[in-house]
Amino acid sequence: MKLTQIVFATLLFSILSTKWTFAQSEAEKWMRNWEARADLERIEDVYIPKDLAEAMSELDRLTDDSMAAVIALAPEGEIASKLHFSLGRWMQLHWGLEEGSRLAAYLRSRGLSFPDDMIDLLIRCWHRHLNGKPTEEEGLITKYQERRRLEHRKRLEKTERIVLPPRDKR
């Protein structure tokens, strides 16, 4: 009976330690890949802007003038919502906002970590750029950061807290 328990414990430890090691190496591998992509000017033959100004220029270059005029005429909130899952998804995939790119690294350095916030920022700034208005990037970033902090606080408030009694000191 004791031998069976030892074999079972050894087998269980081997399985769990392999899984833990694999998970760590996958996270490290993902991070190394993200960092390597952050230096690339092109990923899969798509030019990656290095900052917001280059992103605006690249969107101008990629968009037909008549379509840009339609986008400029629409209200900012409406266009940000409508383009999020089309143009926004294209930017997320091709400009590496989630998997890493120099644009994603730039946006992270400015305080954004969620790809959805990056997409919204890029679309809103481009809309303002098309209309000749200041992009006010800092104000938008502050708004996204505050929204994420508020969401985090709300999640914490919903979390049930368990208070453990103090240990007896015997």
Is the full-model pTM beyond 0.85?
no
Whether 35 is covered by a domain: the verdict is no
pLDDT of residue 12: 72
Q: 117 phi and psi, to 5 degrees?
A: -70, -40
Angle CA 38–58–137, to nearest 5: 75
pLDDT in tens, the chain (170 residues): 677 777 777 777 777 766 555 556 888 898 899 999 999 999 999 999 999 999 999 999 999 999 999 999 999 999 999 999 999 999 999 999 999 999 999 999 999 999 999 999 999 999 999 999 999 999 999 999 999 999 999 988 888 878 888 887 76
pLDDT of residue 23: 59
For the record, the structure tokens of 166 come out as 């103090």
Whether 6 is covered by a domain: the verdict is no
Whether 25 is covered by a domain: the verdict is no
pLDDT of residue 64: 97
Whether 59 is covered by a domain: the verdict is yes
Domain count along the chain: 1
For residue 49, the enclosing domain spans 45-156
Whether 20 is covered by a domain: the verdict is no
